[in-house]
Structure 1
Amino acid sequence: MQPSKAVKVLIVGGSVGGLAAAHEMRAVGAEAAVYERSAGRMEARGAGVVMQPEVEALLVRLRMSARAVSVELWERQQLHLHGRATRYEAPQLMTAWDTLYRALREPLAGVCYRLDSALRRVRVEGSEVTAEFADGYTTQGHFLVGADGIGSATRRLLGGNVRPSYAGYVAWRGLEPEAALPGDLLELLTGRFTFFGSDGMQMLCYLVPGPEGELTEGSRRVNWVWYVNVPERDLPRLLASRSGKPYTTFLPPGEMVLDTAAELAVTAEASLPPQFAELVRRSDVFMQPVFDLPPHRMVADHAALIGDAAGTVRPHTASGTSKAFADAAGLAAALRGWAPGQDLPGGRLADWEQERLLRLVSLSRAGIGLADQSSLGTVDGRRYFDSA
């Protein structure tokens, strides 16, 4: 008897969640191919990533240690409005999106990874899935994984009618070389998770590896994020770009218009501790509105959704990346042993979906609870950048 050929899994979305899915599928004997809609170098829409057990587990399997791709912190410190710091011991590892991307991408050098592949159609015929892309390219496999984020084309094409909703606040972000910052500011931030909170805002900061994964002193980067309540009517104004390109979910570095930059500096000076106001002033700022996507069914015919494509969690849980990794690992385990031509392991897929949706609901509630503590996205929270 001829041995069954390997299952081919088509993975839509080439960010770290899609790369994790490729590794997990290969680990259970499947062939993986990844299709990413970006035409060129992917933009790091997160920046800093808190090292979580699910991420570390995959790195270890790939013969890498978490410390090899992370900056180690030893303290947490709360800044008060006039600059005083309260500190306590809290060891933690911090990595960055691009560092993690590189760590996962390089071992897949021989695997199909196709850019400029915007999914336009999915067809299931018998035991085969056909994916068609905007440029006319078509490919076939036996299972499709949608790892294409909150704006997932896969979810839409599989019949998902849920849409993201604005959570009521945005994340201003910066990712600056440590060598570009003054010594006194760097001394305050190095080795520490630094945070500040007040009504309608929260800011946090920590060091991450350099742009090529450097961990040596002087070569790393300072990552910060400043969550601020912003009325929905003001989003188009704040997302306006210097290039004139329309943005709705992400304003990249270098695109902020001068009026917004000036408003940002004034708000930072009036609302943040002086050290954080200086950090904002010295940064090439980018921005992401925070959106909620409620939990959605994850399994369809010969297809599944993972990560933000299936539902989001607020960033305060520091689990967006780890959730996608756990989704991928569990899905691969459910497909282990399945061969082309056989019935899908429906029971295992249903169990996986139930377990992951329960986890998603739990994380989602926890994230909203954490946001509420700083009145982020709440009806009575103070609003900023309000043009009314």
Structure 2
Amino acid sequence: MEPSRTARAVIVGGSLGGLAAAHELAAVGAEVAVYERSAGNTRARGAGIVMQPEVEDLLGRLGVTARQVSVELWERQQLHLHGEPDRYAMPQSMTSWDTLHRTLRAPLEGVCHRRDSALRRVTVEGAEVTAEFGDGHTAQGNFLVGADGIGSATRRLLDPATRPAYSGYVAWRGLEPESALPDDLRDLLSGRFTVFSAEGQQVLCHPVPGAEGELGEGERRINWVWYTNVSERDLPRLLTGRSGRTHTAFLPPGEILPETEKELLGTAEVTLPAPLTRLIEASEVFLQPVYDLPPFRMVADHAALIGDAAGTVRPHTASGTSKAFGDAAGLAAALRDWTADRPLPAERLAHWEENRLVELLTLAEAGLDLAARSQLGTPAGPRYFAGA
């Protein structure tokens, strides 16, 4: 009797969801290979991450505790334009994209992890899947996992009609060394999750580990995000960088135009508490429009979508990363004991898809509700950064 053939999984996307899928599928016996479209080191496009159970569970199986990769907060504070902050106890653990990425990547040192691999074509013949990339490289496997984010090439190949839709607001972001901030500002923000809300805008701010994972006071970074309503017609102007290129999904740090930066600080001075304006002024700002991608499906012929490739949730739920980890764990459970010479466990995959889509829809609705409380993305909410 011939031995069973190990299933080979081709994972498209080398960010956190793709790395989680690599760990989960390897744990159930699959041979995994990861293909990332970025040519260099993948940059953190949403630096702060709330430590959630799904993330903590995978870390634990890798021998890493949440405390080793997180900043412990003890308090939440609500800032106001005038007057003292409102504060109350709320313990919380915060990590960062790059800390998690480094932690997940290190144990996969012996696994194929190929960069500069933009997916162009997928073909399925029987039980064999072939992925073709922009540089001419091809990869063969028995199952394809699309973990390539909201702009997923995998999803476009499976369903060309599905496109993300602009939500009506953007996220201005910064990630600054704690040591670079004035003492009074650092004291205000250290150990706390800071919030400011007004009609059509919201600011969230908290410490995260340092660039190399440092957790000591003064060695960490301050992560902040400022959500503001922006009309879609103003996006191209705000997303135009110093290089002259107009970006679509992400304006990198260092690219904001001087006139946009001046407009940003002018708006902050009028609408935000003074400490937050000072923080933004001290930061290298980057910009992300918030997009919605409704769930379509997660399973196709010898393929699956996970994370934002399958559908998005608004960032206010603090569950984008944990959802991707949960998707990966459930997919691996559905494929447990499957080998390349056996039919796919279609019933288990269908059950996984049904359950995850229900959860995705629930989270998506919760995110819309949280955004609406600050009139973010709603027709009634005021607009900012309106062009002439």
TM-score by length of 1: 0.99
Separation in structure 2 between the aligned mates of residue 324 and residue 157 of structure 1, nearest angstrom: 20
RMSD of Structure 2 on Structure 1 (CA): 0.7
Task: Verify the 8 A CA contact 1:118 1:133 in the aligned structure 2.
Answer: yes
Instruction: Name 2:274's counterpart in structure 1.
Output: 274
Instruction: Report matched runs for 1:282-297 at 5 Å.
Output: 282-297=282-297
Separation in structure 1 between the aligned mates of residue 189 and residue 284 of structure 2, nearest angstrom: 18
Instruction: Name 1:187's counterpart in structure 2.
Output: 187
Instruction: Name 1:124's counterpart in structure 2.
Output: 124
Separation in structure 2 between the aligned mates of residue 2 and residue 127 of structure 1, nearest angstrom: 18
Instruction: Name 2:317's counterpart in structure 1.
Output: 317
- Matched AA of 2:95: T
Instruction: Report matched runs for 1:357-368 at 5 Å.
Output: 357-368=357-368
Task: Verify the 8 A CA contact 1:78 1:196 in the aligned structure 2.
Answer: yes
- Matched AA of 1:105: R
Secondary structure in structure 2 of the residue aligned to 1:188: helix
Task: Verify the 8 A CA contact 1:119 1:154 in the aligned structure 2.
Answer: yes
- Matched AA of 1:171: A
4+ aligned runs moved over 3 Å, structure 1: none
- Matched AA of 1:34: V
- Matched AA of 1:365: E
Deviations 1:189-240 (A, max 9, x none): 1110000000000001000000000011111000000000001000000001
Separation in structure 2 between the aligned mates of residue 217 and residue 191 of structure 1, nearest angstrom: 9
Instruction: Name 1:145's counterpart in structure 2.
Output: 145
Instruction: Name 1:372's counterpart in structure 2.
Output: 372
Deviations 1:27-74 (A, max 9, x none): 101011000000111111110001000000000000000010000000
Deviations 1:89-108 (A, max 9, x none): 00000000000000000000
Instruction: Name 2:134's counterpart in structure 1.
Output: 134
Instruction: Name 2:220's counterpart in structure 1.
Output: 220
Separation in structure 2 between the aligned mates of residue 239 and residue 206 of structure 1, nearest angstrom: 25
Secondary structure in structure 1 of the residue aligned to 2:11: strand
Separation in structure 1 between the aligned mates of residue 160 and residue 327 of structure 2, nearest angstrom: 18
Residue 248 of structure 1, CA deviation: 0.4
Separation in structure 1 between the aligned mates of residue 235 and residue 167 of structure 2, nearest angstrom: 12
Task: Verify the 8 A CA contact 1:83 1:275 in the aligned structure 2.
Answer: no
More off after superposition, 156-165 vs 320-329: 156-165
Separation in structure 2 between the aligned mates of residue 173 and residue 280 of structure 1, nearest angstrom: 9
Instruction: Name 1:387's counterpart in structure 2.
Output: 387
- Matched AA of 1:201: Q
Deviations 1:286-319 (A, max 9, x none): 0100000001111000000000000000000000
Separation in structure 2 between the aligned mates of residue 139 and residue 248 of structure 1, nearest angstrom: 29
Residue 245 of structure 1, CA deviation: 2.6
Percent identical pairs in the alignment equals 69
Residue 246 of structure 1, CA deviation: 2.9
Separation in structure 1 between the aligned mates of residue 245 and residue 97 of structure 2, nearest angstrom: 24
Residue 160 of structure 1, CA deviation: 4.4
Task: Verify the 8 A CA contact 1:10 1:143 in the aligned structure 2.
Answer: yes
Residue 341 of structure 1, CA deviation: 2.1
Task: Verify the 8 A CA contact 1:83 1:273 in the aligned structure 2.
Answer: no
Secondary structure in structure 1 of the residue aligned to 2:4: coil
Separation in structure 2 between the aligned mates of residue 5 and residue 45 of structure 1, nearest angstrom: 38
- Matched AA of 1:153: A
In 2 relative to 1, CA 83–15 (structure 1 residues): closer, same or farther, beyond 3 Å? farther
- Is residue 232 of structure 1 aligned with residue 232 of structure 2? yes
Instruction: Name 1:257's counterpart in structure 2.
Output: 257
Task: Verify the 8 A CA contact 2:241 2:251 in the aligned structure 1.
Answer: yes
Instruction: Report matched runs for 1:1-150 at 5 Å.
Output: 1-82=1-82, 84-150=84-150
Residue 83 of structure 1, CA deviation: 5.1
Instruction: Name 2:355's counterpart in structure 1.
Output: 355
Residue 139 of structure 1, CA deviation: 1.1
Task: Verify the 8 A CA contact 1:77 1:194 in the aligned structure 2.
Answer: yes
